[in-house]
Copies of this chain bind each other. A is one copy, B any other.
C-alpha cells in the first residue's frame, strides 16, 4: 500500500513540530451503577470514560466520531492501559482530560487523565492506541480532511 503524498506530509508535520497539543476536558459523574461492592467505581468503567473523553475530543475538533464512522472509517482500539491512583466514589464529579499523544494516518494514540472536580486530585491516567480501518476491517489511512480536522494545528476554535 502506498501512502498518498499528503498523508506523508501530514505524518511528518506532526512528529516534527512537538508543540504541545491542547487537551480537552469533559465532565462526568459516577453513576450508582458504576459502583461495585467496595463502594467505588469499578475498574472497567474507566475504559468507557476514556471513550467518552475522546468522543468529545473529536467533536470539539470539528468532526464527531459518528461522522467518521458514517464515512466508513473506524478507529479500532488496539491497546488500552489504565493506572488507577485514587478511588472514585458514587456521585463524585470528575474531569476526563484527553490529549493526542501520537497521530499518523493509520495509528492514533490518545492520553487520558481523570481528575476529581472537587480538588483536582489525579484519579487515574492511561492511554489507548487506535488503528484506522475501513468498513471491511482492513487497515487504512484516514482521509486528509478528517486528519486535518482531528489533528491539525487549527485549534483556535476550541
Using CB atoms and an 8 Å cutoff, list the residues of chain A in contact with chain B. 31-33, 35-40, 42-45, 47-48, 51-52, 55, 64-66, 74, 76-84, 87, 90-91, 137
Contacts and interface: CB of A to CB of B under 8 A. Distances in A.
Contacts of A83: 78-79
A81 B39 CA distance: 23
B77 A84 contact: yes
Give the secondary structure class of A's interface.
Answer: mixed
A37 to B, nearest CB: 4
Nearest to A129: B83
A104 to B, nearest CB: 19
A83 B81 CA distance: 9
23 contacts: A31-B51, A31-B52, A32-B36, A32-B37, A33-B51, A36-B37, A37-B90, A38-B76, A43-B47, A44-B44, A44-B47, A44-B51, A64-B91, A65-B91, A66-B90, A66-B91, A78-B83, A79-B81, A79-B82, A79-B84, A80-B81, A81-B81, A81-B82
